[in-house]
Structure 1
Amino acid sequence: MILTNVQLVLADEVMRGTIVVEGGRIQAIDSTESHLPEAIDGEGGFILPGLVELHTDNMEKHFSPRPGVRWPSTAAFKVHDAQMISSGITTVFDAISVGDVIEHSERINNLRIMVNALKSSREHGFCRADHRLHLRCELSHADTLANFEQLFALHRPQLVSVMDHSPGQRQYVDLSAYRRYFQGKYHMSDSEIDAFIIRQSAASERYSSSYRQQICDICHRYAIPLASHDDATDEHIQQALAENIQIAEFPTALSAAKAAHEHGIAVVMGAPNVVRGGSHSGNVAAHELAQQGLLDILSSDYYPASLLDAAFKLADDVSNPYDLPQACALVTCHPAERVGLTDRGRLEVGLNADLIWCHQRAGQVHIHQVLRAGERVF
């Protein structure tokens, strides 16, 4: 495939020219226009690397589309895969939760079903995106360590994150925000939420520290990349440094994000936070970090289409230092490099031809085609 008359989003510039794909890889990049009869006119659209997503829980909603409804696993996974590809995400780390804040939740019931569906779909060639396993470990849940060890033995993850959504800390330092969120989500009375807060605090005291240490030790032994979650203080970042954690997912405070960035821990923020203009939990907004150049990676989190939109929105915002190549790096080469993927994430000769062909019109980004390993998948 020869695509010409396109704007190539390179590492440090946007260059108008031509890209040649053959054998699943990028064979040539040129600043001139091709006049070969087989060349496809890109009509001035952008060509950028396929997006790399490190943390999405999008798969869960397809396995349980309504309370009490469990969808057939392979069909659910295929819809999730299609949504990823249609959003330009060619490499996705599916964040599957080990443990939850609620006992016997659908998330826990679907744990092995989702992991098995991911593995089976890869083995049978159903995947259009390159799906990898991210185990997100809720440390305050009693069964988390046992479930993690069992899954690790059967399905080695490519990324692990450690988190604790207990009241009064990290994402929920503000107890009123915790109360409002969980009381609304699970329809608890005032007395029920009071008892829930006491129970969750006790579970965190009992399990979180020990489980975190043991899970980190296992990951170090097998060289699995580690991410922390919802860091709120400098102390949290110091703990992450001591544990050789390389990624800080969704820090909740500016000071924590600044400390992580300065110590070489990649700061991940939610692309929905960028698109919406703020955090739905009332924590630090991504645009505040962007203005200080503290963003390293973006994640679509719960809304896949936000990833590409957020990159272009950041690039169009003159209040921050990110131009289009720098903004696209947050969703391509930066996440790829942090998890050891050196064969993708950049437009360079010899790398995988994971590509997005898109246009920006009327303030919106429209995807025309998506290629993975040189094959059109959308």
Structure 2
Amino acid sequence: MLRLHSRSLDRTREIGVALHITGGKVLGAEFAFADLTTQGSAIAAIDGSAPAVALRLDATGLLVLPGIVDIHGDAFERHIMPRPGVSFDIDVALRDADRAMLACGITTAFHGVTWSWEPGLRGAGNARALVAALERLRPRLGADTRFHLRHEIFNLEAEAEIFDWLGSGRIGVLAFNDHTPAIFKGAVRAGKIAKMAERTGLSDADFMALARQVFDRGDEVPASVARIAQAARNAGVPMLSHDDASPAMRRDYRALGVGVAEFPLTVETAREASAAGEAIVFGAPNVVRGGSHLGCPGAEEMVREGLCSILASDYYYPSLPLAPFILAGNGSASLPDAWRLVSQAPAMALGLADRGAIAPGMRADLVLVDEGPQPRVVATIVGGRLAHLADQRILAGASAAAQAA
């Protein structure tokens, strides 16, 4: 079996040589054994002949799946601040998060960056630094990484800058968040306040004083949300509403053109979104853990009921490649349908028509998975480039030109 040294492998990533993936079980409409060829950044052919210059990957015993599209992941925050008050350089953190995502088969990532009225990790300075860092680093990151702005709707001072970011194409997706109800809900106050205060660097008392000051401007919030939603529609940026608490709230956001319900808090709210044909997002960690850690609807039950169309990594990247296999193993969905929850469905909801499925002409974002007893990502291909390799044994052979590249 041929081994490519690291310089050759790095070079194949840089120039994006053709790949010829043989022997794998490929997910098209259903699973079928097929060979697959990429050329440049696209899938060139299924069961076509190998190009003269190609890196051949032996996928025997592996599944060949569309790359994962993560509509909402904020686990990168722990790469920036692994402990309260302990921060690392943003560039270092984002590169580390990129490696973690690629190892989980995530080929398109929307980093969920919360811009709140709070100081600290979710404050204005960090949001600005993150959008700038993503733009600077994007050409050097393995995954196609984009900016998902999680706008805290009481953050009224941010409105003008958000308009500018929307107009200049800096935002890939916009979500409307409101975490103030949790702050003033007595049943969860002690634990919630301590956690939120930690990431701001404020004392509990100072944090609560700031929260009350912000909350007093609540009558200004609806008009601000409407203006931002209009700006997003004008810019063609897809919008999500986060933690919809009731069917009425979902209808209110729908009226503003917000077409994706992200983590609805009640089954009735999910049904409201489903009846309108809207995409519904739940967390893959919810599936992997067997339920919500917050007492919200169980994602697996929502999948069975047809009330979940997308799974997101939320706070834990490894949950995304695992959740579809758990759903299939429990009989909650077929594996093809379960995998579409993390690939084709989020791509469609975000208007990314070039990815999420395996077919000629589609973007060559692919994941090779060993089902295991424990599913394992063996290789991740992004835009036709081998971005992650966990087992060199699949490097079955390459043309002389590919070896010399």
Q: 1:91 aligns with which of 93, 108, 128?
A: 108
* Counterpart check, 1:285 vs 2:303: no
Find the counterpart in structure 1 of residue 60 from structure 2: 43
Partner of 2:247: 234
2:197–2:207 contact (8 Å) kept in structure 1: no
Q: Given that residues 322 and 375 in structure 2 are in contact (C-alpha distance below 8 angstroms), is that contact kept between their aligned partners in structure 1?
A: yes
Structure with greater contact order relative to length (CA < 8 Å, sep ≥ 6): 2
Give the root-mean-square deviation of aligned CA atoms.
2.7
Aligned residue for 2:180, secondary structure, equals coil
Counterpart position of 2:379: 369
Trace 1:213-252 onto structure 2 (pairs within 5 A): 213-252=226-265
Mapped to 1, the partners of 2:299 and 2:115 lie a distance apart of 27
Q: Tell me the CA shift for residue 231 of structure 1.
A: 0.8
CA distance in 2: counterparts of 1:173 and 1:337, whole angstroms: 37
The equivalent of 1:330 in structure 2 is 341
- Residues 59-108 of structure 1 show CA distances to partners (whole Å, capped at 9, x for unaligned) of 222223333333223222211111111111001111111214xx322221
SS of the aligned residue for 2:291 comes to coil
Match of 1:116, as an amino acid?
A
Q: Aligned partner of 2:355: which letter?
A: R
Structure 1 gaps of 5+ residues are none
Matched, 1:120 2:133: no
For residues 107 and 196 of structure 1, the distance between their equivalents in structure 2, rounded to whole angstroms, comes to: 14
Counterpart among 308, 312, 317 of residue 295 in structure 1 = 308
Mapped to 2, the partners of 1:291 and 1:18 lie a distance apart of: 33
Q: Letter of the 1:251 partner, please give it.
A: P
Given the two structures, how large is their TM-score scaled by the length of structure 2? 0.82
| Contact 1:358-1:366 within 8 A present in 2 as well | yes
Distance 1:40 1:54, change over 3 A: closer
Deviation larger for 134-143 or 300-309:
134-143
**2:159 paired with 1:141:** no
Deviation at 1:307, TM superposition (A): 0.6
Question: Which aligned pairs between 1:303-314 and structure 2 lie closer than 5 A?
Answer: 303-314=316-327
Aligned counterpart for 1:70 among listed residues 67, 83, 87: 87
Partner AA of 2:229 in structure 1: C
Distance 1:104 1:178 in 2: 19
Partner of 1:157: 171
Q: Distance in 2 between matches of 1:199 and 1:377?
A: 47
Structure 2 counterpart of 1:208:
221
Equivalent residue of 1:110, what SS?
Answer: helix
Q: How many residues align?
A: 363
Give, in angstroms, the shift of residue 174 of structure 1.
5.9
Contact 1:139 / 1:207 at 8 angstroms: preserved in 2?
Answer: no
Equivalent position amino acid for 1:373 in 2: G
Q: Secondary structure at the match of 2:108?
A: strand
Query: Deviations 1:180-238 (Å, cap 9, x if unpaired)?
Result: 322455379997887677556434x2443122111101111112111111012110121
Query: 1:17-76 CA distances to partner (integer Å, 9 max, x unpaired)?
Result: 2222222321222499xxxx9854322210001100111112222223333333223222
CA–CA distance in structure 2, aligned partners of residues 157 and 189 of structure 1: 32
Q: How many angstroms does 1:272 deviate by?
A: 0.6
Identity in percent = 32
The verdict on how the C-alpha distance between 1:69 and 1:286 changes in structure 2, with shifts beyond 3 A counting, is same
